[in-house]
Amino acid sequence: MPRSARSNPLALAVLVCLFERPMHPYEVAQTLRSRAKHESVRLNYGSLYAVVDSLESRGLIRAGETVREGRRPERTVYEITDPGARELTDWLTELIAVPTKEYPHFMAGLSFLPALDTQDALEALRLRAIALDIRLTQVRAASRAAADAGLPRLFELEGEYEEKLMETELDFVRRLINEIEDGSLDGIELWRAFNASASAVGSDALGYFASSGPPAITEGTEERTHPES
């Protein structure tokens, strides 16, 4: 299947749920939420029904029986098809095996950090460190609660991965704060000189900051995008 059809992880989540057993879309959403999968896959009902329609149109799932519970509206139960099961395996294997270039917002901010005054940058970084520390405490508490409840580590791997990423980022942010504060950050004098004069705006200094960094790699590299839905 074309990679463009694999841009929405919610579609993969639907396939996984239906691989487990036939479900109607509302049950899929409830299952994902009850297992905290909305922490790793963006979930909203409008997108979910659009994803179900798309998967059905591509022959990856098919409608089965229609059920009614009490006075609730009728709901269509969907099941995964053989091509859908193969797509699930191929897609999940690719996600695990192939690193892709992503574009985190924080990375974009760091790339243009010198456009801020050093003091403003320090304040923003301190706020980020506080937010990361709070979020890390929450993730660790959730992990401990899951372990205490007897949930096998296998089903908490995404939380463990998030925790490690946040630990690394928090360490990076704290070290960067210290280096700006004590003046040991390589290039900080240029940064200060750039911000010391309003006339520097639009000068070669700005061009230096905007163009600095490793060269872009284009030849032999396929750029992938992951649009949000």
| Token pair listed for 34 | 């009850």
Q: Residues 48, 25: contact at Cβ < 8 Å?
A: yes
User: Which DSSP helix (H) or strand (E) runs through 77?
Assistant: strand 75-80
* Strand-pair category, 75-80 with 61-67: antiparallel
pLDDT of residue 213: 56
Which residue has tokens 């009490």?
70
Question: Cα-flanking dihedrals φ and ψ of residue 226, to 5°?
Answer: -130, 80
pLDDT of residue 80: 98
Pick 196 or 80 by higher pLDDT: 80
Question: Cα-flanking dihedrals φ and ψ of residue 219, to 5°?
Answer: -70, 125
Q: Is the pLDDT of residue 157 over 50?
A: yes
Share of residues in the chain with pLDDT > 70 (%): 83
Fold of the domain built from segment(s) 3-97 = Arc Repressor Mutant, subunit A (1.10.10)
C-alpha to C-alpha distance for 99 and 97, rounded to whole angstroms: 7
Cα of 160 vs its chain's centroid, Å: 14
Average pLDDT, the chain: 87
The predicted model gives 145-152 an average pLDDT of 94
pLDDT of residue 220: 44
Q: Is the pLDDT of residue 58 over 80?
A: yes
Who contacts 133 (Cβ-Cβ below 8 Å, separation ≥6)?
Answer: 170
Residues 81-136: pLDDT tens digits? 999 999 999 999 999 999 999 999 999 999 999 999 999 999 999 999 999 999 99
pLDDT of residue 219: 42
Provide the residue ranges of all domains of the chain, joining segments of one domain with +. Answer: 3-97, 105-211
CB atoms near residue 216 (< 10 Å): 8
Q: pLDDT band at residue 203, thresholds of 50, 70 and 90?
A: low
Share of residues in the chain with pLDDT > 90 (%): 75
pLDDT of residue 214: 55
